[in-house]
Structure 1
Amino acid sequence: MVPTLRASEIEACWHRIVRCEIASAEPCKTRTLIFPIGVWREICFLVLTMKLIRRTTFSRMKLRLARLYGPEMAEELADRLYMLIGRYGVQPRDGYEMGADAINWTEQDVVLITYGDMIRRKGEKPLATLKNFCDRRLRDAINGVHILPFSPSSSDGGFSVIDYREVEPALGGWNEVQRIGRDYKLMVDLVLNHCSRESEWFQNYVRGIAPYDRYFIEEEPGQEWLKDVTRPRPHDLLSPTETPEGLKHIWTTFSADQVDVNWESPDVLFDFLDILLDYVARGAKIVRLDAVAFLWKKKDTNCIHLPETHEVIKLFRDVLRTVAPHVILLTETNVPHEENISYFGEGDEAQMVYQFALPPLLLHALLKGDSQYLQKWASGLGDLPEGCSYFNFTASHDGVGVRPLSGLIPESERDWMIERVKERDGLVSYRAMPDGSQSPYEMNVTYRSALEVIGNPELGARRFICSQAVMLAMAGIPGIYFHSIVGEHNWTEGPQREGGERRDINRRRLSWREVEELLDDPEGESGWIANVYASMLRVRRSCSAFHPDAGQDIIPTAGNLFAILRTSLDSERKVLCVFNFAEAEEPLDQAWVTEILGHEPTRNLLRRKRKLDSTDWNLGGYECVWFE
């Protein structure tokens, strides 16, 4: 067994080796620790690691550890962090200083969001089927794939993880995951707020086995301060659990099966750092930090967005700057907008955050035929810290969150939208409030069904495409849920199945044959949506004005219109995107367009023809143009 050495001991030993103070035939000694010559190579590598890590970076990491666990533990934990980084290796990239980021996103970046088994084909592992589908249907439309949790899980669509280091055998294995990662930018979930009751961690906790006896949070029910804890769900915060020491009440933010881990234990931190770096070693380019806002718990607080939570993310960022500076951290914080963007920090935290306000604001604007609230919000987004961007989306495996609307639209408008979604067979999930009441948390519906024009499905499909064109035009990196690619409607049978839940309404799995038939039907809505969507993606990926960092200006318009001006980083290309949010036709003023662009437009990028004609200047119901 290799002895555990402090970083200072390793470096001192290395200097003795270099000065030939230790004969090559003798074992190396430092204090009372003895290890064989065969360990020298590892020592050399670890010392090289220490030499490569910038002193300022390491000092910053050590300071973060002190803030989290106290100055008295910082030295020991810093040594432990050295060892962990040494195991995975320091990987400077050409042209980048160690400790700096190496992010190189472009307008080419588009991420497909999907479960590993969204498409199934007989005789083939679902992850292999997913890869084949992307290669065949989406190769020129996307360059990234977000595989939603693919580890063994006991509930919540994969988000109750049993074993973080394994792939669910029914989906495939690490080979299939890594094959996707070789051809596409791989995005994975780090579910770090909670794990499954069936996990080895929790089973060891129940048995009282160290260090897992400190991996979970015990509280006595009935304490007054617990009423102020921010809740995303309506069930009880604490779940009873039998242990050898008697009945314990364990913190469970999301469900009784999803047990919150105790980040006050440094062992939890190092387990997750190891898992994070393992994912990176297996090809992850984007790491989504699931439900990270709830990470740290502290008595007499609301237990959301605590300073320690931000410190953990910053520590992750520092470690990745050292080990894998090209990897992006993406925080999943379904909260009001100002709280959401706090996870950029000062450019030292997450490089991307979900644009959570966009899906409900855009849905409200299109259902209402009035973009006033969307315009006000979008025009106030402001500049981001350097090296940061938004992850834009309209739909995901979850519902359309309404918490991000807080302060952006009146509650009466939110409630009006919820009623319209219910009319389209959507469902609503609720969360518990401190006074014991319940408040809407999300609308469970596919984005296509939410935008249905009742009695006119063709117009509904056009309204859905308009929504996707808005999302693609906005500054940031687009993420597209699988069911949006094919315009999937609500799967109303899903929530009604035994063990079903509201979110299943937009989680239907399809067979390869079903998908092929949908996409190849020349008369079908799904095929039309998929073709138009793929065409928009190809246009977006070929235009530098849609670079994630390119300029974005929201042009004031009448409420039934929405307009975005995008300007490339070199100012050589400008694209004016105009959207009609109403059913009625809307003529556009050519002089207005020319004034905004600074020149007469020569083409509409969304049409294949090269020259403009009268049809480009009269927007039909829910039509859009991208003028250049």
Structure 2
Amino acid sequence: MPDILLTPKLAERLRLAFDDDRDAETFFLRLERYGPELLDSLREVYLERADGLLERLLEIMLQAYHTRPADLKRLDEARLLSPDWLQSSRMVGYVAYTDRFAGTLCGVQDHVDYLEGLGVTYLHLMPLLRPREGENDGGYAVADYRSVRPDLGSMDDLSGLARDLRGRGISLVLDLVLNHVAREHEWAERARAGEDQYRDYFHFFSDRGLPDAYEATLPEVFPDFAPGNFTWDEHAGEGGSGGWVWTTFNTYQWDLNWGNPDVLTEFVDIILNLANRGVEVFRLDAIAFIWKRLGTSSQNQPEVHHLTRALRAAARIVAPAVAFKAEAIVAPGDLIHYLGTGTHHGRVSDMAYHNSLMVQLWSTLASRDTRLMEQALRAFPPKPTNTTWGLYVRCHDDIGWAISDADAARVGIGGPAHRHFLSDFYSGEFMGAFARGLVFQFNPVTGDRRISGSAASLAGLETALESGDETLISLAVERLLLLHTVILGFGGIPLLYMGDELALTNDYSYADTPEHAADNRWVHRPRMDWALAEDVQAHPDTPAGRVNAGLRHRIAVRKGLPHLHASIESHVIASPDPRVLMLRRDHPLGTLLELYNFSEERVVLPAYSLRGHLGEDARDALSGSAFHLTRPTLTLDPYRALWLTAAEVNT
């Protein structure tokens, strides 16, 4: 019994809530394990209110525990026996918009065979909880966390899909928007109606005094179409008069006041409700922004990590099968805290996006020089061994050139100049560039330009197909496969963005849809081409077929390679040629050495540079080829990747 957490009276009341002694013992054992983490974090954020808040949360948690379906309770026990399930080399993710992939949730259910055949074990369906009508930031302006977008189906459909996926060994992943809600959300409507309880859910200001003080240090997320961080609302002031409300992203997305413990209790209830529907991983959207502090950027504040740890601990007590993924697109020094450092080590999010790797992949592809990537990857501190990275070539968002000036200077280039080059290259303005992308959110003050575009178009396939040049087409196919081979081999969960497995190019028809026309990120959010998905199986020699077959082969190899367990770090090895990235992974079964040629040229490497890592004989897991490193050199074809192990490991 966790006496340190509970008074005898509360402990007895909790015990009486159970009819089954075994159920009670399970709940109290988990409370004993995770309760101290929960209470410690509550005390850090809410001080003297923490003990009363814990009692309120326990009522929510008890209700969720009692109503958790039996098959999910069984999954909880299985996950407790395999706590490294997210780190397995068998994990492969797929990211899609429900409507663009299959129309509805029932439509997704009809295509589970396709996902299973591709090797997917983790399905992230982009925002599907009911958003505001009209413009809604791609679904991230949530109007109701307890219902599904009507055109996609119902909550029962969501539960049915989750159950079917679970039966195929596929985990359902959903977005949980934590920083803000739509201004049409019930909480915001009741706040605008003057209810004090709900006014405290938001940040309201009667004049521009404090907003201007905050603005002095706040960045702008969308300077083109949502400048500033505060919006005037005619009902936001006291007594229904006008006032200013904090709106980091868009005027219709109202930031929540996490300093109010009622907001935390709401989200614990929401998380556990969705977990009982079968959601296994929550993508914590805009997590970096949830705590506000004057004189700062109001990002990455210490309270963010205490709050995430509290949410995770509450989920662990009721539904330990559930995991958290931090959507924190921040600098490496800030990012590591979302996986946990110090007393939070390994106790915050279970997974975070490796945004830097994505940026460096495209940077290196353009420059044909891996030295900046080497420098950036070396800057990452080791992550907790019980956590994992989410690794991606592309996602639903734009690419922001998060190139550190310090990293650039260490390899002898200028950060601003390199970022300018990348924007020119991927928008097609640079002479000889193979890429076909669009500039998103040009900032005239800083000169920064972000880029939209599908992976295939950015890698040159769109341009190559228009030219009809088979050599250029082959090079574009090899670029796409190289990029995906890196994320499959880096150590984490590779996340395939819908359509990339079919090499879908830019969809310029987005401009014909009024609510999408102003946001060119929809150019890389195409509808699934099911006819092409069938055709690539029958015609594997087409460009799309070659990409599809190549990805399927690499996924199969990954699943059989224990060296790719995410508890193992990938370490950058100094490369004898700047066109080649070398990564080393030291697994108990032996060393895995990965080589990636980021150029369209054949590269000859001295064999001695590999011999010290692998010995005299090596085998490439991707091709099955043997390499005798006693020979003077090893040749890498254009965009070739090798996953080398010592030959004796596999005999």
Fold shared per TM-score above 0.5: yes
Quote the offset at 1:392 in angstroms. Answer: 1.3
1:311 aligns with 2:306: yes
Change (3 A) 1:371 1:323: same
Quote the offset at 1:342 in angstroms. Answer: 2.0
Query: Greater share of helix residues, 1 or 2?
Result: 2
Unaligned runs of 5+ in 2: 1-5, 67-72, 409-414, 429-434, 465-471, 646-651
Residues 55-94 of structure 1: pairs in structure 2 closer than 5 A = 55=32, 57-71=34-48, 73-89=49-65
| CA offsets 1:294-342 (integer angstroms, 9 cap, x no match) | 0012333321111211111111122233223332211111122211222
Residue 151 of structure 1 is aligned with which of 103, 126, 129?
Answer: 129
| CA offsets 1:253-291 (integer angstroms, 9 cap, x no match) | 111121111212221111111111122222222211101
Matching residue of 2:208:
221
Residue 141 of structure 1 is aligned with which of 114, 119, 131?
Answer: 119
Matching residue of 1:18:
none
Native 8 Å contact 1:14 1:43 kept in 2: no
1:563 aligns with 2:582: yes
Quote the offset at 1:56 in angstroms. Answer: 6.5
Matching residue of 2:648:
none
Residues 345-364 of structure 1: pairs in structure 2 closer than 5 A = 345-346=340-341, 347=345, 348-364=347-363
Moved segments of 4+, more than 6 Å: 42-47, 95-98, 609-614
1:444 aligns with 2:452: yes
Structure 1 residue matching 2:369: 3-state secondary structure: coil
| CA offsets 1:536-590 (integer angstroms, 9 cap, x no match) | 011011111111123533221111111122333x2x2433221111111123444
1:430 aligns with 2:416: no
> Which has the larger Rg?
1
Residue 333 of structure 1 is aligned with which of 328, 335, 359?
Answer: 328
Change (3 A) 1:495 1:304: farther
1:165 aligns with 2:146: yes
Matching residue of 2:221:
232
TM-score, length basis structure 2: 0.83
Matching residue of 1:105:
87
Q: Partners of 1:46 and 1:464 in 2: how far apart?
A: 50
Matching residue of 2:70:
none
Residues 455-466 of structure 1: pairs in structure 2 closer than 5 A = 455=464, 456-466=472-482
Q: Partners of 1:181 and 1:259 in 2: how far apart?
A: 34
Q: Partners of 1:181 and 1:134 in 2: how far apart?
A: 11
Quote the offset at 1:477 in angstroms. Answer: 1.9
Q: Percent identity?
A: 23
Change (3 A) 1:437 1:379: closer
Quote the offset at 1:252 in angstroms. Answer: 0.8
Matching residue of 1:26:
none
Residue 576 of structure 1 is aligned with which of 577, 593, 618?
Answer: 593
Structure 2 residue matching 1:305: 3-state secondary structure: coil
Residue 180 of structure 1 is aligned with which of 165, 189, 194?
Answer: 165
Native 8 Å contact 2:601 2:637 kept in 1: yes
Residues 200-211 of structure 1: pairs in structure 2 closer than 5 A = 200-209=186-195, 211=197
Matching residue of 2:280:
285
Q: Partners of 1:166 and 1:181 in 2: how far apart?
A: 21
Native 8 Å contact 1:475 1:550 kept in 2: yes
1:130 aligns with 2:115: no
Change (3 A) 1:201 1:225: closer
1:587 aligns with 2:595: no
| CA offsets 1:467-503 (integer angstroms, 9 cap, x no match) | 1111211122211111322222122332464222121
Structure 2 residue matching 1:468: 3-state secondary structure: helix
Q: Partners of 1:230 and 1:258 in 2: how far apart?
A: 16
Quote the offset at 1:51 in angstroms. Answer: 3.5
Alignment RMSD (CA, Å): 3.1
Quote the offset at 1:52 in angstroms. Answer: 2.9
Change (3 A) 1:156 1:554: same
Native 8 Å contact 2:617 2:626 kept in 1: no
Structure 1 residue matching 2:291: 3-state secondary structure: coil
Matching residue of 1:23:
none
TM-score, length basis structure 1: 0.85
Unaligned runs of 5+ in 1: 1-5, 16-38
Native 8 Å contact 1:429 1:502 kept in 2: yes
| CA offsets 1:402-434 (integer angstroms, 9 cap, x no match) | 2364543312111101110110342233387xx
Matching residue of 2:366:
367
Q: Aligned letter for 1:168?
A: R
Matching residue of 2:534:
516
Native 8 Å contact 1:356 1:401 kept in 2: no
